[in-house]
Structure 1
């Protein structure tokens, strides 16, 4: 695992670099306590196309292998009220490795989530959406990546 931060965009060699990237980035200014990589429940695939509403905090991922779509984290609760757009890398590609960085409160409830992406075409790392979690219980979100 090695992140190259020397250019205009940080780049990672593999999906595993998302954990280091999200930990460095933080989640809403808070320390990331846990990172969970996305995997398709249908086929086990680990690359996705994404639609996100960065303002409202909602992300949908669609598996490249089988096409199964998933509204990530608590996105389903307000998906009908958002205006998602396709996530596209600066290189024009739209297929990503995906992981979520979780900022946890002292009682291990979730405070903030950041959805990190790594373009599989050129390795560019980024965050397509992040938002505050202001309800309890919230620990279940760790299983909804």
Structure 2
């Protein structure tokens, strides 16, 4: 089965390329089309993050505005927003069979309609890295100090 999944991904015939996520619906042929009311919320999430709001702050703002989560609940899980901010599908690009280490995967550019520009997506990725308290050095992965100076 794994071999078959890889073959479909490599040939571009995998149905996973058109797997629905928040902001999209599938048309009759199974292709992704923008759900404009949800896409407006996706753009709002990206913009709020770039304006300096935290993931928790975005969740609270969405709840304040009465925007329901993808599962229809009034509260937004932080993980849902974090995944949305990292989902390249919103730029029209899809990665399949990515193990997270980016060793080998299949990538389809211009796979689906764009909700967030590549520039906005990249700006969010840079900001996420900047805000992260994890650093990588020759010694490996380390957390930044949580101590704050009282002099500021």
**What TM-score do you get using the length of structure 2 for normalisation?**
0.26
Structure with the largest fraction of helix: 2
Structure with the largest fraction of strand: 1
Q: Which has the larger radius of gyration?
A: 2
Q: Which has the higher contact order (CA 8 A, sep 6+)?
A: 1
**What TM-score do you get using the length of structure 1 for normalisation?**
0.27
